[in-house]
Structure 1
Amino acid sequence: MKYNSVLKAEFLYRKNRFIAICKKGFKLLTVYVPNTGRCKELLKEGTTVFLTYNDNPNRKTSYTLVAVIKGDKIINIDSQAPNEIVYEAFNKNKIDLGFKYGIIKREYTHGDSRFDFYLEGENKKALLEVKGVTLENNGIVAFPDAPTKRGLKHINGLISSSEKYLTYILFVIQMKDVKFFTPNYVTDKNFSMGLLKARNAGVKTLAYDSIVTRNSIEISEKVPVILEETWNLDLQRN
């Protein structure tokens, strides 16, 4: 996935969940933030960020914040990116689900849930939900960075579908060079315990990291997953 018209700027502050103020030279820019998570460890005053520019007159702001520099990492925070790069990766057979899939459908409804992907092949049918991960501390990455009732609903939907489908939840880590993925028990214990319940019901949890540049992101390699509360860390501390 590639972005057009990317420029470097300095993050100043977040006005609300969707809007931030950044600075380019002496010019202040009103910027759309495509991520409703807290991102407190990323969006700090003075942080270098990357913005895309779009001159569509129907937009409230011409700029969108898509990536952040944290230490030696570029972290993509675009919440639309994970689904896009997973779709690209499926079409290149880069994600191992344990079977070869030839049919790929997006936004698939089953029961009272809508899942990101439906896949079919080798007489097998699968449902898969995607979650983007931006929270990192010392190489450990976790989800969520804010409580998510919607995320728990997706888990329960996968559990209830497990008798008829192969079921997966795929965490897309929107950065490179991490040690492992774990649920964030500190921030959302219900979601984290839900992942354990899902595993016991047959839902498979996968995590892949990403190659991120200032103007692109793509799926890279599988990352180890630890679902137990062994690493009960406050990942949003400095």
Structure 2
Amino acid sequence: MRYPQPLIEGTWLRRYQRFLLDVRLKDTHEITVVHCPNTGSMLGVNRPGSRCLLLPSHNPKRRLAYTLEAVRVGKRWVGTHPARANTIGLEAIMAGLVSAVPQIASARAEVAYGTSSRADWVLQTRHGDVWTVEIKSVSLAEDQVALFPDAVTERGRKHLDELCRVVKKGGNALMLFVATRDDVKLFRPALSIDPAYARRLAQAAHEGVLVRAVTSRVTRTQMVPLREIPVDLEGAAATASPSKTRL
């Protein structure tokens, strides 16, 4: 995925009202208000004083001229725009990076399903099989392990419930975690942050939902999927089958 135009650099000063960020632009030293599309806690990347990358907008009707896209953590950029994960996830699937998912012929976004949900993607294989896909953006990491969520997420558990219903009806369901960074080697649910979500994820895998994770790399011009990494659900739930805790 290429950005519409190259990202520009600034320094994160402060975040407030969830959607707003004060940033000092590197080139002009101007302090400007930036749109922050990430409504989560941004644990691990919520660091005042950090370098950040912004996508400029030349739309005169927009109130804010910049959108936060990434934050510098150590020696790499970490993506912070959750919606980008949907695009990267689809690119990873189409490139064959997600194991056990057949070759895809078509994809539809934001398709209504279940009780009151919208799937990030509904995919159809060349043989006519349909896959319902939910994608989560993962920016939090510790010791080269990608962790999700970074805050308690009832909505995330609801999505897992919906995917399980798809499987129970004979369909195919994929829960794909997209690490918006390239320095992780394993994915785990963040048991210490949201134990209920961690248990539900392990249960969903046991019930037949395919759980996978991929990494990605952010630069000033693009964000690209890199590789699949193992998913470790061991210890997340006592109800998970031992044979399916490491995927």
TM-score, normalised to structure 1, is 0.91
Match of residue 108, structure 1, among 107, 111, 116? 111
Q: Distance in 2 between matches of 1:194 and 1:149?
A: 11
Q: Distance in 2 between matches of 1:141 and 1:152?
A: 18
Aligned 8 A contact 1:74 1:214 in 2: no
Partner of 1:138: 143
Aligned 8 A contact 2:7 2:220 in 1: yes
- Deviation per residue, 1:25-75 (Å, 9 max, x gap): 531110111111111421212100011111212222101110111011210
User: How many aligned positions are there?
Assistant: 230
- What are the ranges of 5 or more consecutive residues in structure 2 without an aligned counterpart? 237-247
Amino acid in the other structure paired with 2:103: K
TM-score, normalised to structure 2, is 0.87
Task: Report the CA distance between 1:111 and its aligned residue.
Answer: 2.5
Question: Which secondary structure state, in structure 2, belongs to the residue aligned with residue 157 of structure 1?
Answer: helix
Match of residue 88, structure 1, among 61, 79, 91? 91
- What are the ranges of 5 or more consecutive residues in structure 1 without an aligned counterpart? 231-238
What aligned pairs does 1:72-83 form with structure 2 within 5 A after superposition?
72-83=75-86
- Flag as ranges the 4+ runs of structure 1 deviating above 3 A: 88-98
What aligned pairs does 1:72-221 form with structure 2 within 5 A after superposition?
72-112=75-115, 113-121=117-125, 122-163=127-168, 164-221=170-227
Q: Distance in 1 between matches of 2:210 and 2:97?
A: 17
Task: Report the CA distance between 1:104 and its aligned residue.
Answer: 1.7
Task: Report the CA distance between 1:109 and its aligned residue.
Answer: 2.0
Question: Which secondary structure state, in structure 2, belongs to the residue aligned with residue 80 of structure 1?
Answer: helix
Give the superposed CA RMSD. Answer: 1.6
Partner of 2:19: 18
| Percent identity (aligned) | 30
Q: Distance in 1 between matches of 2:230 and 2:98?
A: 14
Q: Distance in 2 between matches of 1:104 and 1:34?
A: 24
Task: Report the CA distance between 1:143 and its aligned residue.
Answer: 0.5
Q: Summarize the Cα distance change of 1:195–1:7 in structure 2 as closer, same or farther, 3 Å threshold.
A: same
Question: 1:65 and 2:71 equivalent?
Answer: no
Q: Distance in 1 between matches of 2:18 and 2:161?
A: 27
